[in-house]
Every structure is written in C-alpha cells, then in structure tokens.
Structure 1
Amino acid sequence: MEQFFTTVLLSIEHFHVLGYWVAFLAALLVILIAWIMLWFVQYYLPRYGNRLWQATVLFGRTLRSRFADNPYVCRWMREHPGSIQFLAKRADYTHFFGLPLTLLVLSLAVTLVLLAEVAEDVATADSIVVVDHIAARLISTFRAPELIPIAIWITNWCAPPIIGVLLVVACLLLWLVNRRFAAVGLVISLLGASLFSVLNKLVFQRLRPDGAVLLEPSYSFPSSHATLSVAFYGFLGYLLIRSAKKWDTRIKLCFVMMGFIFLIGLSRIVLGVHYLSDVWAGYLVGLLWLIVGISVNEWLAATGRIDWNLPVGRYRKIMVFSLMLVAAIGVAGYLFTQVLIFRDLQ
C-alpha cells in the first residue's frame, strides 16, 4: 500500500511540468469524488441503516443456530462449557459489559497495532517517510496563498486557549443538563491524549518539514492538533450523538464531526507544519484515548451514574443557550484575531 501511494505521489509531483492548474484540478477531482462518496453514505445510511442492522442481526442468529445444530460444534461445546459461557457473555449486546465492551476493546487493540506500525515505520525511515517528503514538496510547491488564512482559521480550533475554554464550557454544559459525570470521560480523553502526544514527541524528536508557513517550537511526530481534534472534538461529537434521539440525526452528527476533524488535520498539512504520517499518527493517538474515554463513560452509564434521558428544566435550557452563545462569540473573536495577526505579519 505504501509503495502504491509512493508511485501515485511521484506521478503527481511530475505534474508541475504541465502547469499548476493540472495538479490543482487533479487534487480537486480527488476531493470531489471523496465528497460525493461521503454524501451518498450519509444520505442512504439513515434511510436503510435500520434495515441493514436488522438483516445483520437476523444473519447472526441464523448463523448461530446453524452452528448450534452442527454435531462437531455441539461436542466442542460439551467439552468446553467455560469457553462457551465466556464467548456468550462477550457477544451479549443487551448490556455494556457484553458486545459493546468487546467491540471497544477490539477497536483499542486495532488502534494500538496501527499506531505501533506507523511509529516503527517512522523510526526506521521506511517507505512511509518517502511518501511524507514527496507530499511535503508537493504542498510547498502548489500551496495557494489564498488558502493560508483559511487553514490558519481551521487549525486554531485546536489551539491551547480554545481547547481550554471549550473544555470548561463543555463541563459547565454537562453539569447544567444533569450529565456532570459525562465530563469524566472527556477529561480522561483530552489529558491522556495530550500527555501521550507530548511523550511521543520527546521520544521520536522528528523535525518539522522545510518551508512551513508557521513557526512551531515543538517536534513534529505525532501531530498534537490531529490528536486533540479526535480526542476532544470527537468526544464532543460522541456526547451529541449519545444524546440525540433520532437515528438520522446521529448519522449526520457523526459525518459533520468526521469532516471537521479531517479539515483540522488537512490544515496542518497545508500549512506545511506536519508530514502526512504525523497527522495519521495523531489521529490514531486521539482515537486511542477517545475509545478509553468512551469506555469510561459507558461504564458510568451502565452503573447508573449517567442518565442520558434525564429532562432539563426551562431555566437551565436558557442558561445553556446563553453560555453557548457567549462561548461562540469568544471563540469566533479569537480565531479571526489570529488570522488578522498573521496577515499583519506578512
């Protein structure tokens, strides 16, 4: 797979002999195709998601009954009752400690494996490093000046002042809507991801790409902005999805949050402050701690400390709306101020 991406990027790199617009249109076509595919998924999934889930459950029950009728399986079940009981508990989707916890643990394991593979490739200067440098040269060559203020506006959503203020606001909102224990998973996800990212930067000490638009004092691998985008904004998306009642609303919230996280990672690459593998590793680190935070919250919900269906009084709703409005004005002011400061420095 890495060899394939290396070949593709090398081919794109040679597009500069045909002119800027050929490379620009090729990149625009790729983004357009990806957007159309995502639009089809978010359009059809709310309409046919329930049918697909019901069909999957029915297929699982049919498969389980076929296995139960198999004589070899029956004999194995009689000889290993403890293993059967353990597997049955892991596949029970009626409570958190069954199938949900199993899927979370499996997701955590897969994320750890992917993160370890990326870290090993970077440490050993594998082919992924070649892809990084080719992509960095492409970005430096074809970076449009008009995109820089937009990228700065997007990337500052993960600036420490913004994350700090939004964390306080999120905790206050959760307290106002009677879900104060939900802040536990949020804090664990954010702090764990931040510390893990800082430690990895100190371990790998990878230098930033040449030709970066912004001057960043820290090391490059992994991307802290990509890490925080998943760990923090991904968790906020989880809270919204968990509180939503309708299936189509949950799907739309999921895709909006995924798109926002993708744009934050893309802004770091456009600004030239990170390699592709930095952002990919940052996403994995953030996902790792996001899964941990979600697991903690679901455990708290299973033990009765979080009730997602508690009503919110009118007075508290007014306070929630007022707090969100003040936070939105403050964040917007900070973001646009940072863009203006960058323009004045040019």
Structure 2
Amino acid sequence: MINLIQTNSQLFTLGALLLFIIIALWVLQYLVIRYSTKARAQAMYYWMRFKRYFGLSKRLIRLRAGYPKSYHFISQRFDTQHFYGLSLTILLLVGGYALALFIGLVEDVVTSDSIVAMDYFVSQQMSMLSDSPIVSLFILITSLASTPITCLIVLLTGALCWAIRQRYLLIGLLIAVIGSTLFTFISKLLFNRVRPLDILLFEQTSSFPSGHATVTVAMY
C-alpha cells in the first residue's frame, strides 16, 4: 500500500483534496441547516431597514415621480412577497454566474488550458490502477448515474409525488432531467471532444460535457 501511494503520490494528493472538499461541503450543509432560519430572519430585518431608508431618499422620490413605470419595474425585482420579485432576481443572478463559469470551462477546454492537462494526467494515473479494487468501487458509483438508474429514479419519484398528491413537483423534475439531457446532447455535438485513449470504460459519445455529471447533478 505504501509503495502504491509513493508511486502515485500526485493522484493520492488529488484524492485527499477531493475528500477535504466533500467534508467541507458536509460541514457547510450542517451549518446551513442549523442556522439558516435565524440568518434568514436577520437578513430580512436588515433588508426591510435598507428598503425603508432608501424609500425616504429624495433622489428615489424624484425618480419615482419622474419615471413611475421604470421605478415600479425595478422595485418589483426586489419585492419579497412573491416569487417573481427578489427570489427570481437572485435565481437569475445565480444562473448567470453558473453560465459564466460554464463559458470559462468551455474556453479552457477549447484552448487546451491547464484544466485539460489535469484531465489527461488523472486519466493516465487511473489507467495504471486498472487492476485495482479502487476502480471497481468507482465503477459502482458511476453506475448510479447510468441511464437505467436515472429512469428508475424518475419513475419512483414520479410515483411518490403522485401518491402524496404533490404532482407539481414532477414539472421541475422533468424539466431538470430532460433539459439537462438535451443540453448535454447538443453540447457534445458542438464541441465533439474525443475521449482519452487509455480509458477504463468505453463510451461511444464525446467526452465533453459529461453526461453522467450533468444529468445526475440536475436530477439529484
């Protein structure tokens, strides 16, 4: 075991980093669940004070009097009483940020930046472990994102939503799964990035973006 670690020290360092990230995400999840209600109440309190303060601003009063339609549109974007207000504004900002990250990733892949070098490095290191039981474990994890398992989860979740009479949840589930599947399919056709030669599992489709990762994250 020690010889294996010494021979593949960089790969094990990467694995340790991933483990650290997973633990950090678990801790973050615990903190969010533990303190989210109190933090939300505090945020709403300061948000209302912020709105009250700027509502008395002379500039805003003149803006409201001079451009009532524009002022109404902007104020509606920060309304906390319905989904089409602040919630939708934050959702659009987060979606725009995620899109910017994806565009940056596409640029790195197209220009063969350092992320591609890391991709090939990990692929080469994993090919050296083809006979290791570690590979069997990751193949088992990968199978949780396979098409049959995805369809089974969608069917079971749909049946559960139907049984508890919350059928509206099916809309979001189907949009997430079908939308991510179409997005992945079209993106693979556009980028047409070949897979590494020394692969452990053979797939007929292109390698970017990952269908397993995209559809599974959207679904789960």
Q: Taking structure 1 as the reference length, what is the TM-score of the superposition?
A: 0.56
The answer as to 2:209 corresponding to 1:222 is yes
Q: How many Å apart are 1:103 and its aligned residue?
A: 2.3
Q: How many Å apart are 1:188 and its aligned residue?
A: 2.2
3-state SS, counterpart of residue 176 of structure 2: helix
2:64 is matched with 77
Using the alignment, how far apart are the partners of 2:152 and 2:124 within structure 1? 36
Q: How many Å apart are 1:142 and its aligned residue?
A: 6.2
Q: Indicate which of 193, 202, 211 corresponds to 2:198.
A: 211
User: Is contact 1:20-1:142 (8 Å) kept?
Assistant: no
Distance change >3 Å, CA 151–CA 196, structure 1 → 2: same
Q: How many Å apart are 1:220 and its aligned residue?
A: 0.4
Using the alignment, how far apart are the partners of 1:26 and 1:121 within structure 2? 23
1:102 is matched with 89
Taking the TM superposition and a 5 Å limit, the aligned residue runs for 1:279-290 are none
Distance change >3 Å, CA 130–CA 33, structure 1 → 2: closer
Q: How many Å apart are 1:84 and its aligned residue?
A: 1.9
Residue correspondences, number: 217
Task: With a CA cutoff of 8 Å and minimum separation of 6, indicate the structure with the bigger relative contact order.
Answer: 1
Q: Which residue type is aligned with residue 170 of structure 1? A: T
Q: How many Å apart are 1:224 and its aligned residue?
A: 0.5
Q: How many Å apart are 1:219 and its aligned residue?
A: 0.9
The answer as to 2:28 corresponding to 1:41 is yes
Taking the TM superposition and a 5 Å limit, the aligned residue runs for 1:1-346 are 19-20=6-7, 22-23=9-10, 26-27=13-14, 29-141=16-128, 145-233=132-220
Distance change >3 Å, CA 225–CA 39, structure 1 → 2: closer
3-state SS, counterpart of residue 62 of structure 2: helix
Distance change >3 Å, CA 158–CA 24, structure 1 → 2: closer
Q: How many Å apart are 1:141 and its aligned residue?
A: 4.7
1:283 is matched with none
1:5 is matched with none
1:308 is matched with none
Q: Which residue type is aligned with residue 212 of structure 2? A: H
Q: Which residue type is aligned with residue 98 of structure 1? A: G
User: Is contact 1:140-1:211 (8 Å) kept?
Assistant: yes
Q: Which residue type is aligned with residue 181 of structure 1? A: Y
Unpaired runs of at least 5, structure 1: 1-15, 234-346
Q: Which residue type is aligned with residue 157 of structure 1? A: L
Using the alignment, how far apart are the partners of 1:82 and 1:198 within structure 2? 42
Any idea what the Cα deviations from partners look like across 1:163-215, whole Å, max 9, x if unmatched? 22222222222211112232222222212211221121122111112321111
User: Is contact 1:193-1:228 (8 Å) kept?
Assistant: yes
Name the % identity: 31
Alignment RMSD:
2.6
Q: Which residue type is aligned with residue 118 of structure 1? A: L
Q: How many Å apart are 1:89 and its aligned residue?
A: 1.4
Using the alignment, how far apart are the partners of 2:118 and 2:145 within structure 1? 26
